[in-house]
Amino acid sequence: MQKEELLHLHMLFVHVKKYYEATYGDEVCTAGYDGLSISPVHIHKNKSCHKEAILMLGDELVSYLKSKGLASLDYQEYSTPDEVIAGQ
């Protein structure tokens, strides 16, 4: 994955966190992510720093959602793209 793509993914995860907090009024505790002292706008940091931040933030978001009972989504797996279209 290119650095630019990592930056976009990093920003997306930050937006997901902020959207959840604004929508539900709960603060998502991301102490591990915050401790890394890196944000998507820190473009001077290397790829590995952003990758670590993405993994940490993603893990903390999923853990928080699981603790709230919001991480279990009902979905149907499809084996081919044709089945996806037919299922819609």
Q: What is the mean pLDDT of residues 20-33?
A: 95
> Tens digit of pLDDT for each residue in 43-86?
999 999 999 999 999 999 999 988 988 755 555 555 555 554 55
Q: In Å, how far are 51, 64, 78 from 31, measured between CA atoms?
A: 17, 12, 37
Q: Which amino acid is at 39?
A: S
| Cβ atoms < 10 Å from Cβ of 7 | 18
Domain-wise residue ranges, the chain: 3-87
Domain 3-87 has CATH 1.20.1270.110: yes
pLDDT for position 87: 52
